[in-house]
Amino acid sequence: MAAGVALGVAQLIAGLIRGTTSPVISVGEWVIDHVPAPVKELAIRQFGTNDKPMLILGTVVLLAVFALVIGMLAVRRRWIGVVGIGVFGAVGVATAVTRTAATAKSAVPATVGSLVAAATLMFLLRPGPSGKVAEGASPAPTDRRRFLLGVAAFGAVAVAAGGAGRALARRFDVSSIRAAIRLPRATSVAPALPATADLGIAGITPFTTTNRDFYRVDTALVLPQVSPDGWELSVKGMVERERTYTFEDLLGRDDVVERDITLVCISNEVGGPYAGNARWLGVPLANILDEAGVHDDADQLVSRSVDGYTAGTPTAVVMDGRDALVAFGMNGEPLPVRHGFPVRLVVPGVYGYNSATKWLTGLELTTFASYDAYWAARGYAQQGPLETLTRIDTPQGLAKLAPGRVPIGGVAWAIRRGIEQVEVRIDDGPWQPARMGDVANGDTWRQWTLPWDATRGNHQITARATDGEGVLQTEERTPPLPDGASGWHSVVVMVS
Ligand SMILES: Nc1nc2c(c(=O)[nH]1)N[C@H]1C(S)=C(S)[C@@H](COP(=O)(O)O)O[C@H]1N2
Ligand SMILES: [Mo]
């Protein structure tokens, strides 16, 4: 119960002081930052986007077990309780003050929470009228009643404090500021989509992913709430002139462009869901870098988020004429908070972990030799090409179908190179060319479909793509770690 009070009080303080969090969050973030890459891939595979709630649940369960053991020991020896709470508080403080965005006040929730917990424990274990409650194995009935009443009262305190903290923390929410933003019109609008970009076949991923359905991958346990007032983007490092830009600077520029770009995550397995296609609005990243004047030997552009996340993008890629964007709009709206509000990067043809920094705050020109960004420091490739992948969206694996005509279909991507053709094979039959949706450029995925006369029995459907340079995607299956999954996607369906 003392641990519960600690968490409730810590949550209350996190709601009172901007920029602080509950120790559950700072411990969870510490785990995210230190977990080995294979374990992280496992968690994504097992829990998908639910990996975060699972981590919070796991942290709370571990804490509860720890508290139960300490509490039982403390009934006999109170100093064990005090030391246990001290350890718990120290872990909370240590993880809070080592967060990237930490300040002195970061230590306050865990410190106050554990002090209140120690006082709670002492109070609950104080000697009763019989003088024995804390020491004896079987306290007198009146002492037991008094003890249980105390436990119930403190439980109520913990829940009330925690609830108040959560309610107070809503003050820091930037969604109303976001809703009031008026985006500028693009000087260069996105090229019109061909009518068949979306083939309109049920079960195939829509060509444009809505903001709601767009996948989310990041290391943030609590979404950063970044107000555009006072926000600045700094450009520094190996440049002629350091520069800073406000949110108004970016929105007011005359080089605002709008582009359809598909974003792909390195953690996406063959057939996996971690890719999305949106219409982004922003300023060409190359123009921003040109204004700073990049040194010739600065081969790495490091982008930094307010939450300490970093990505390393090859400077040459950003400057080669592709539509790399400092983006503030997504599908006609300001960026959603979970997708990086107010400003993020989008670089077509580079996996998200190496380029698509959300809640962007700084750009630094440096070299690959001198710096490893967040995931590069954790075993992923510092740089590398984005794999060509083809996904079968419909029918789904293990689907039960009736005999007759069914559309097979999905999406394929080879961002920058573009997709030329998808082919489909039923069991060991011949490869058949799919009908392709048209697209405006190679920076997006392409839909494909093939009608199939399904016959009774179990069948394996396999799909593969050839990219815009005429290269067939590799059949060799590799996992996401360290440089992206490859291989042909296939599904088995049951027709009866
Ligand atoms: N600040 C921050 N930006 C980040 C990340 C992150 O963990 N923190 N993850 C990156 C990764 S791995 C990917 S795939 C994309 C995902 O962007 P999305 O969540 O908008 O789909 O964001 C990138 N930007
Ligand atoms: Mo990613």
102 or 128, which is more confident: 102
- Ligand 1 pocket, mutate which of 218, 261, 361 (most atoms under 8 A from CB): 218
pLDDT in tens, 370-396: 999 999 999 999 999 999 999 999 999
**Residue-level pLDDT at 178:** 97
Nearest residue to 278 via CA among 211, 336, 233: 211
- Name the packing angle between helices 51-76 and 37-47 (round to 10°): 110
Average pLDDT over residues 46-75: 91
Q: How many Cα atoms sit within 13 Å of 72 on the Cβ side?
A: 5
- Name the packing angle between helices 23-34 and 2-16 (round to 10°): 90
Q: How far is CA 405 from CA 19, 457, 495, in A?
A: 57, 14, 11
**Residue-level pLDDT at 166:** 94
Nearest residue to 463 via CA among 406, 410, 387: 410
Give the long-range contacts of residues 366-371, CB within 8 A, separation 24 or more.
366/237, 366/238, 366/298, 366/300, 366/302, 367/238, 367/297, 367/298, 367/299, 367/300, 368/299, 368/300, 368/312, 368/314, 371/300, 371/302, 371/312
Which residue's alpha carbon is nearest to atom 24 within ligand 1? 357
Model confidence at 326: pLDDT above 60:
yes
How many residues can be counted in the chain?
496
Average pLDDT over residues 87-110: 93
Average pLDDT over residues 54-58: 92
Which residues line ligand 1 at a C-beta cut-off of 6 Å?
A: 214-219, 263, 265, 276, 305, 307, 309, 339, 352-353, 356-359
Which residue's alpha carbon is nearest to atom 7 within ligand 1? 218
**Residue-level pLDDT at 130:** 65
pLDDT in tens, 247-292: 999 999 999 999 999 999 999 999 999 999 999 999 999 999 999 9
Average pLDDT over residues 137-159: 85
pLDDT in tens, 232-243: 999 999 999 999
139 — pLDDT class (breaks 50, 70, 90): low
Ion ligand 2 nearby residues (CB, 5 A): 217, 265-266, 352-353
Residues 232, 246: contact at Cβ < 8 Å?
yes
Alpha-carbon distance of 449 to 129, in angstroms, equals 80
Which ranges of 77-170 would DSSP assign to H, the alpha helix? 78-97, 108-124, 141-169
Alpha-carbon distance of 139 to 142, in angstroms, equals 8
Model confidence at 101: pLDDT above 90:
no
Residue type, 147: F
Model confidence at 137: pLDDT above 60:
no
**Distance from residue 287's CA to the centre of ligand 2 (Å):** 25
Model confidence at 359: pLDDT above 90:
yes
Most confident of 22-26, 55-59, 323-327: 323-327
What value does the mean pLDDT of the chain take? 95
**Residue-level pLDDT at 132:** 53
159 — pLDDT class (breaks 50, 70, 90): very high
What residues are paired with 489 via a beta bridge?
463
**Distance from residue 394's CA to the centre of ligand 2 (Å):** 24
Give the long-range contacts of residues 25-28, CB within 8 A, separation 24 or more.
25/56, 25/221, 25/222, 26/92, 26/95, 26/96, 26/99, 26/106, 26/110, 27/59, 27/91, 27/92, 27/95, 28/52, 28/55, 28/56, 28/59, 28/221
Which residue's alpha carbon is nearest to atom 15 within ligand 1? 352
399 or 37, which is more confident: 399
**Residue-level pLDDT at 491:** 98
| % of the chain residues with pLDDT over 70 | 98
Which residue's alpha carbon is nearest to atom 12 within ligand 1? 353
pLDDT in tens, 171-204: 999 999 999 999 999 999 999 999 999 999 999 9
Residue that is written with structure tokens 């411990």 in the block: 27
**Distance from residue 137's CA to the centre of ligand 1 (Å):** 54
Alpha-carbon distance of 94 to 105, in angstroms, equals 12
Torsion angle in degrees (nearest 10) through CA of 131, 133, 135, 139: 110
**Distance from residue 352's CA to the centre of ligand 2 (Å):** 5
Alpha-carbon distance of 245 to 240, in angstroms, equals 16
Q: How many Cα atoms sit within 13 Å of 318 on the Cβ side?
A: 29
- Looking from the CA of residue 345, the nearest atom of ligand 1 is 24
Residues 234, 243: contact at Cβ < 8 Å?
yes
Alpha-carbon Rg for the chain in angstroms: 27
- Looking from the CA of residue 215, the nearest atom of ligand 1 is 21
Q: How many Cα atoms sit within 13 Å of 96 on the Cβ side?
A: 25
Residue type, 455: T
Model confidence at 346: pLDDT above 90:
yes
- Binning the chain into helix, strand and coil, the percentages to the nearest 5 are 35, 25, 40
Domains in the chain and their CATH numbers?
A: 2-172 (no CATH), 232-378 (3.90.420.10), 389-495 (2.60.40.650)
**Distance from residue 480's CA to the centre of ligand 2 (Å):** 10
Average pLDDT over residues 48-64: 90
**Residue-level pLDDT at 442:** 95
Residues 176, 341: contact at Cβ < 8 Å?
no
What residues are paired with 188 via a beta bridge?
257
Q: Which one of the ligands is nearest to 276 CA?
A: 1
Alpha-carbon distance of 240 to 295, in angstroms, equals 7
Q: Which one of the ligands is nearest to 374 CA?
A: 1
Torsions phi, psi of 128, nearest 5? Answer: -85, -175
- Count of other CB atoms within 10 angstroms of residue 399: 15
Q: How far is CA 108 from CA 103, 138, 223, 297, 316, in A?
A: 10, 38, 20, 44, 44
Alpha-carbon distance of 289 to 242, in angstroms, equals 10
Q: Which one of the ligands is nearest to 275 CA?
A: 1
- Looking from the CA of residue 224, the nearest atom of ligand 1 is 1
Nearest residue to 387 via CA among 349, 425, 436: 349
Average pLDDT over residues 148-168: 95
396 or 136, which is more confident: 396
Which residue's alpha carbon is nearest to atom 21 within ligand 1? 216
Average pLDDT over residues 10-39: 93
- Segment among 4-13, 45-54, 67-76, 256-265 with least mean pLDDT: 45-54
**Residue-level pLDDT at 138:** 62
**Residue-level pLDDT at 176:** 94
| Per-position b or e across 327-349, b if 16+ CB within 10 A of its CB | bbbbbeebbbbebbbbbbbbbbb
Residues 334, 316: contact at Cβ < 8 Å?
no
**Residue-level pLDDT at 172:** 93
284 or 40, which is more confident: 284
Alpha-carbon distance of 489 to 424, in angstroms, equals 10
Model confidence at 126: pLDDT above 90:
no
pLDDT in tens, 405-452: 999 999 999 999 999 999 999 999 999 999 999 998 899 999 999 999
- Ligand 1 pocket, mutate which of 358, 378, 380 (most atoms under 8 A from CB): 358
| Helix/strand/coil for 310 | strand
| Helix/strand/coil for 55 | helix
Q: Which one of the ligands is nearest to 218 CA?
A: 1
